[in-house]
Structure 1
Amino acid sequence: MTGLWLLIGIAVAGWVFGLPRRVTLAVLALIWAAIVLAHLVAPGIGATLGGSARGWLVAGGLAALVLAYRAALGRLRARAMPVEAPALPQTGMSDAELDRYARHLVLREIGGPGQMRLRDARVLVVGAGGLGAPVCLYLAAAGVGRITVADDDRVSLSNLQRQVIFRGDNRGELKAEAAGNAMRALNPHVTVTALPRRITEADADLVAQHDLVLDGTDSFAVRQAVNLACVAARVPLIAGAIAQWEGQVTMYDPARGGPCLACLFPTAPAPGLAPPCAEAGVIGPLPGVVGSLMALEAIKHLTGAGQGLRGRMLIFDGLYGESRMIGTARRPDCPVCGSGLEGGAPAP
């Protein structure tokens, strides 16, 4: 079969001389077409080349199928080839921050966007005592960008049973300053401002510079003042309270439909009904539990994760290991946040 050997010779020559595959296939196709045409037009010449027109047509069809299959397989392989991953969006965090907050970054509810919201947040912590200690530590550890700590008290030996942010050599120091130093040592990526004084109802402008306030004080009068400032500034307030074996956490946010402190507790408790920890006592780990819950709620609020405590109060009983949730509601006639206004608290 002269024609077959001719095709084989051309294919081998193309491979030996490194001709482009397309050129070799084009030459083979032309010779094949010439052989078929010779069988149809000049049977004598076709007989010299060997085979028959029908045989060459079948052989050409099979060759075309093989080439088509190989081409399709090549396209599939090209699609399956790994491509370079697109560049991740810049988070603005250093390698040290990415490593430090790695456990947050892999949380679906927080991730990179949530961590950036924490870094951009401004939080005011009122009270650096039993509740404020875990609040300050966990907010600093979580990467809350700017934290202001307000407390006019000094560290005493009796504080160390529960206020774990302090050490024995902090005795006599201002709590705000000592807490600030501990937070900076824990996380140098956060900015801490120590405010060694009380927050009063006249501090609405100061409160308005923050996205969230956490109140861990143990005086009802101070809580009332903080509540008034937050209502005036329309800033949410996460409040915790503890006594002996029990604690509670809630969010006061009348500007967004929740109650304020005065909605739930319009008047101060009668003398002796709610004594401070110095008189009633408190189990050491209780502030850690309740303060950690406050920090948890703060992180949830700042990142938008889960369901917060606006309109709800969590009550924890450490003596019996129980907790319960109760609903809270804003009072339209509340003397602090009611005022007959639609949509919440009065503007500052």
Structure 2
Amino acid sequence: MNWKRYHRQIIIPFFGEEGQKRLEKARVIVIGAGGLGSPVITYLAAAGVGRIGVVDHDKVEVTNLNRQTIHAGRTGENKAISAVKYIHQLNPEIEAVAYPFMLSPDNILEIFRDWDVVVSCVDSMRLRYLINDACFLLKKPMIHAAVFETEGEAITFTYQNGSPCYRCIYPRAIEHETPGIFGFTAGFFGTIQAAETIKLLSEFGDILEGRMIRVDLASMEWYEIKVRQRDNCELCSGKIREINPERYGHI
């Protein structure tokens, strides 16, 4: 890689060349190339993460473009393929892989097995459960965020040392109609996900393990919620030992 591209982050004392080498070797898969996925993909590629995978079965629509900034000019194209084109334009040194189809209980373990970190940028709770469960079983860290209008949340799950999982926070799925969203809300929380991913890979700073941040950008109120492993969590307690399609219903 041409390290001159990354000079401004390499000169950060606690990051340096070692941090850049870790990013260069890293493999990160982003699930969803939408409002959250756009800033995640942008900042991971710009930072020099060596291999980035993008999973998305949807096509780009004009209503996406207030927040899904990586797809400008590519309406009608599959989002994963569009995202890979964007990555190559932004940073030709990055290896990018498109998965232009839906994640399912049948393919998720095979897809996740070759990646170091999973970034969840999806808007379905059932799909979040599937991603969470697969990451737990494979012991792959998962960076989560969710957004609504001007609000959102973010947390990092490492599934290590008794840390909680997504089911510990949300034991039951509550699906809502597609919410309204400002582009800046998705951009804000997607950037937090990118930061968490880079910190985790480069081994600096404090990640959001065991603590969820919630922010309302309308009032600029910030909350930090301590999250612990729930005693009767189906996943953490060992009740869930495999990916059973019947558990996730229609995704």
TM-score by length of 1: 0.67
Q: Which segment drifts farther, 198-207 or 128-137?
A: 198-207
Q: Which residue of 1 aligns with 2:77?
A: 173
- Which structure carries more strand by proportion? 2
Query: Does 1:337 pair with 2:236?
Result: yes
Query: Does 1:211 pair with 2:116?
Result: yes
Query: Does 1:100 pair with 2:5?
Result: yes
Q: What secondary structure is seen at the aligned counterpart in 1 of 2:4?
A: helix
Report the Cα offset of residue 346 of structure 1: 6.3
Q: CA RMSD in A?
A: 1.7
Equivalent position to 1:254, from 139, 155, 159? 159
Query: Does 1:275 pair with 2:174?
Result: no
Unaligned runs of 5+ in 2: 244-251
Q: Give the distance between the partners of 2:48 and 2:168, measured in 1 at CA.
A: 33
Q: Give the distance between the partners of 2:117 and 2:136, measured in 1 at CA.
A: 12
Report the Cα offset of residue 263 of structure 1: 0.9
User: Deviation per CA, 1:249-293, whole angstroms, max 9, x where unpaired?
Assistant: 101222343211111101012x5xx4323xxx1112110000001
Q: What secondary structure is seen at the aligned counterpart in 2 of 1:255?
A: coil
Report the Cα offset of residue 347 of structure 1: 9.5
Q: Percent identity?
A: 37
Unaligned runs of 5+ in 1: 1-92
Q: Is the 8 A contact 1:230 1:237 kept in 2?
A: yes
Q: Which residue of 2 aligns with 1:321?
A: 220
Q: Is the 8 A contact 1:230 1:236 kept in 2?
A: yes
For 1:18-37, list aligned pairs within 5 A: none
Query: Does 1:182 pair with 2:86?
Result: yes
| Structure of greater relative contact order (alpha carbons < 8 Å, 6+ residues apart) | 2
User: Deviation per CA, 1:211-245, whole angstroms, max 9, x where unpaired?
Assistant: 10000101111111111111111101001100011
Q: Is the 8 A contact 1:200 1:229 kept in 2?
A: no
Q: Which residue of 2 aligns with 1:114?
A: 19
Q: Which residue of 1 aligns with 2:198?
A: 299
Q: Give the distance between the partners of 1:114 and 1:263, measured in 2 at CA.
A: 32
Q: Give the distance between the partners of 2:4 and 2:84, measured in 1 at CA.
A: 23
Q: Which residue of 1 aligns with 2:43?
A: 138
TM-score by length of 2: 0.92
Q: Is the 8 A contact 1:128 1:179 kept in 2?
A: yes
Q: Which residue of 2 aligns with 1:10?
A: none
| Change over 3 Å in CA distance of 1:276–1:258 after alignment to 2 | farther
Q: Which segment drifts farther, 192-201 or 231-240?
A: 192-201
Query: Does 1:240 pair with 2:137?
Result: no
Equivalent position to 1:192, from 96, 115, 134? 96
Task: State the one-letter code of the partner of 1:317.
Answer: D
- Which structure carries more helix by proportion? 1
Q: Is the 8 A contact 1:231 1:255 kept in 2?
A: no
Q: Which residue of 1 aligns with 2:248?
A: none
Q: Is the 8 A contact 1:155 1:175 kept in 2?
A: yes
Report the Cα offset of residue 164 of structure 1: 0.8
Q: Give the distance between the partners of 2:228 and 2:177, measured in 1 at CA.
A: 26
Report the Cα offset of residue 332 of structure 1: 3.4
Q: Which residue of 1 aligns with 2:186?
A: 287
Choose 1 or 2 for highest CA Rg. Answer: 1
